[in-house]
Structure 1
C-alpha cells in the first residue's frame, strides 16, 4: 500500500500502481470482515465462531484460497514500492519528509487501532517504514534476498507455533489452548460488543496490545514483502514495464503453482475438520503459496493495464487506489458502525460468513463509485489530505484547480 502524500500529476502517475493498490485495499476487506463481525480467533481457527457448514464453509474455502494473505501481501509490497517512488535513493529533504510521514502514520494507526479496530495494519507499516528506508539503495537481488530471509524467518516461527499443537495431549482441545471459546466466554464477548462502544473497547484494546507485541514475532513477513516490493519497483514489474510475454509467464507460474498449493491445504483442513494437529499444514501452504498467488495476481493486473479496451474497467480501481488510505479507514468506520452497539447496529456475532461476503461486495461497489466521484472534485481523499497536511506541517490544497 502506498499511501501517497505528495501530489502526483496525472500524466506522471503509474496506472498499474493505482489499480493494484485499489484492488488490494478492496480485497483485504474480505478477510478483515471476519475479525470485525466474529470473535477474533475465528480468523485463525474457523470453528471458533459462527456456522461452518454448507454455503458458509464454501465462503471460508473461497476466502482462504483466493483472499487470505494475498491482498495484504500486494498491499504491503506496494507500500515498499511507493516509499521508494517518493523517497528515491538519494539523501535529501524527501528522507526527512518520509520520517515525518511515518511518525504521523504511526499516530493515526494507534488512534485507528484503539479507537476503531484492533486489526489495524498502519502501526506495523509505520514501524516497518522506519526500517526499510535504509534498504532502498540495495540492488534488486539483495532486496529479494533480504526480503525472502525475513519472510522465511517469520514463517518458520509461525508454523512452529502451530506445529507445536501436534505435541498436545489427546484430551486437550481448542478451548484449552485458547484457539476457541467456551459457550459462556463467547456469549460474554458477543454481549460486550453489542452492548456499546465503550464496553467493546476493552477486548479491542487487549487484542490491539497483543497485535503490537506480535509485530516483534511476525513483522518479518511485512518487512520482507515490502523489500520485495522495492525490488519489483526497481525491476519495473509493478510499473507495467515488463513485456506482455513476461507478465503472462509470471501469471502462469504464480497462479499455476500457488493456487493448487493453497487449495490443497484448505481442502485438507476441511477434511480434518480443522484439527489442531494438522493446522500447521494449511497454515504453511497458504503462507508460502500466498506469495506466488499475489505475484500472479499482480501480473494479471499489469496485463490488464496494457489493454486499452479495459481502460473504463480499470478507472474505478485506479481511483480507489489513489484513495487507498481513505478507503481503508472508512472500511473500519463502516464495520464498527455495523457491528458495535450503542453507536451502531450491534450486529457483532449476527452475520454468517455468506452475509459477510455479501456485505463486502456491497462496500466494494460503494467505494468504487465514491472514489470516482470524489476525485472528480478533489486532489486527494480526505484522509490522504489529512496525512499530507500533518506531514508537511501545514494545510495542503485539496480542491482541484480548474483549467
Structure 2
C-alpha cells in the first residue's frame, strides 16, 4: 500500500470498489431528485407537496424501501475506504496531500451547496475527512466498534428529535411548520424556483444552511461511523472481493432480506397511518437501522458479482461510472437544476410527479453509464476528478490516456 504522494494508478484500482461506487452514485439520485423537483419538506412528510396516489405512491414506497439512506451509506463507506487506500496506514505517511484534497473538496462543496443545490454532501464529507484519517491505523475490529458507537449515538439523536417533534406539544413546531407548509408559503417557494435561477438562490442558500446544521449535529456520528466501518471493510478485503463467494452470498441474502423486510412493513404502516406524526419516530428508527443492513447486503451482492470473469462486460459501465463518481454527482446537480429551476433552465419545479421523476432518474442512469464508459476510453479521469487532482497535487495531471 503506497504512502507516497503519487496519484493512484489505473493498475492500483480495484474494479469491485469502482463498481460499487458507481452503483452508489446512481442510486443516490433516486432519493435526491425529490429535493430537486419539489418542496424539501416531502422528505419528512411526503404528502406535503405533490400527489401520493397510484403510481406516485408506489414510487415513494420503492424509494423508501430500496433506496432511502442505503446508497448514501455505501458512498460514505467507500469514502472512508478511499482514505486508507490513498494515505495508507503508516503513521509516518505524509498527510499534506490529504489535507489539500479535503480543503479543495470543502471549497467545491460550499459552491455546490450554496449556489446550486442545498442537498450537498461534499462539505460534510470534507469535514469528516479531516477526522476520519486520524483512525487509519486502527485495527478493523476497533474501527467497527467505534463506528457502531458513533452510528448509534447519531441514531439516538435523530430518533429522539423526531419523537420530540411528533409527541411533545410545542417542542417541534418549527419543524412541523416546515414539513406542513401553508399554501401561501408553498406557492411562494414553487414560484421562486419556477421564476429563475437567481430568484431561487436565496431559498437554496437558506436550505443549505439548515441542512448543514443537521449534518454537523444529528448526522455527523453516522457519517463518521460508516466511514470508519468502510475503512475496516477495505482492510479485511471485503471491498476488494477477497472473501469467499459463499460468504458474500449468505450476507447478501440475510442482510438484504432482513433490511428490506423491516422497511417493507414500516413503509406500509406509514402509508396506512397517513404518515401520522406520532409514528414517525418508529419509521425513522427502523429506516436508520435497516438501511445499514440493506446497504451491507447490497455491497455483498456487488462483491459476489465482481468475481466471475464472464461478467466483466456487465461490470464495466458501473465501474466506469464509479471512476467518474465525482463528475457524475456534480453532473446530476447540473442536469436537475436545468430541468427544475427556471430560466435559463426549464422550470419544471412542482410540476413533475414522482412517477415522472423516476423516469428522469432512469434516463440519467442510462446516460451516465454510457457516457462514463466512452469517456474513459479517451481520458484518464472524469473532468471533475482531473480538476480535483490537479488542484490537490498543485500541477496539471495527465488527462488523455
**Residues 167 and 277, structure 2, Cα contact 8 Å, conserved in 1:** no
**Residues 320 and 373, structure 2, Cα contact 8 Å, conserved in 1:** yes
**Corresponding residue for 2:82?**
82
Q: Deviation of residue 332 (structure 1)? A: 0.2
CA distance in 2, matches of 1:175, 1:289: 24
Q: Deviation of residue 388 (structure 1)? A: 0.4
**Corresponding residue for 2:123?**
123
- Relative distance call for 1:160 and 1:362 in structure 2 (3 A) is same
Q: Deviation of residue 165 (structure 1)? A: 3.4
The answer for unaligned runs of 5 or more in structure 1 is: none
User: Cα deviations across residues 141-198 of structure 1 (Å, max 9, x unaligned)?
Assistant: 110011111111111111111111342459x999854322111111110000011111
State how many pairs are aligned.
Answer: 395
- Relative distance call for 1:9 and 1:238 in structure 2 (3 A) is same
**Residues 377 and 399, structure 1, Cα contact 8 Å, conserved in 2:** yes
TM-score normalized by structure 2?
A: 0.95
**Residues 165 and 175, structure 2, Cα contact 8 Å, conserved in 1:** no
**Corresponding residue for 1:133?**
133
**Corresponding residue for 1:337?**
338
CA distance in 2, matches of 1:363, 1:355: 13
CA distance in 2, matches of 1:174, 1:201: 22
CA distance in 2, matches of 1:155, 1:366: 36
**Residues 323 and 371, structure 1, Cα contact 8 Å, conserved in 2:** yes
Q: CA RMSD in A?
A: 1.7
CA distance in 2, matches of 1:19, 1:376: 16
SS of residue matched to 1:118:
coil
**Corresponding residue for 2:358?**
357
| 1:283 correspondence with 2:284 | yes
**Corresponding residue for 1:26?**
26
User: Cα deviations across residues 94-147 of structure 1 (Å, max 9, x unaligned)?
Assistant: 411000100000000001001210100000000000000001111111100111
CA distance in 1, matches of 2:176, 2:214: 21
| 1:183 correspondence with 2:183 | yes
User: Cα deviations across residues 205-264 of structure 1 (Å, max 9, x unaligned)?
Assistant: 001111221222121111110001001011111110000111012112211211111111
CA distance in 2, matches of 1:313, 1:130: 36
Q: Deviation of residue 9 (structure 1)? A: 3.5
The answer for unaligned runs of 5 or more in structure 2 is: none
SS of residue matched to 1:178:
helix
Q: Which runs of 4+ in 1 moved over 2 A?
A: 5-12, 91-94, 165-170, 172-178
Q: Deviation of residue 78 (structure 1)? A: 0.2
User: 1:239-278 counterparts in 2 under 5 A?
Assistant: 239-278=240-279
SS of residue matched to 2:384:
helix
| 1:95 correspondence with 2:100 | no
**Residues 174 and 276, structure 1, Cα contact 8 Å, conserved in 2:** no
TM-score normalized by structure 1?
A: 0.95
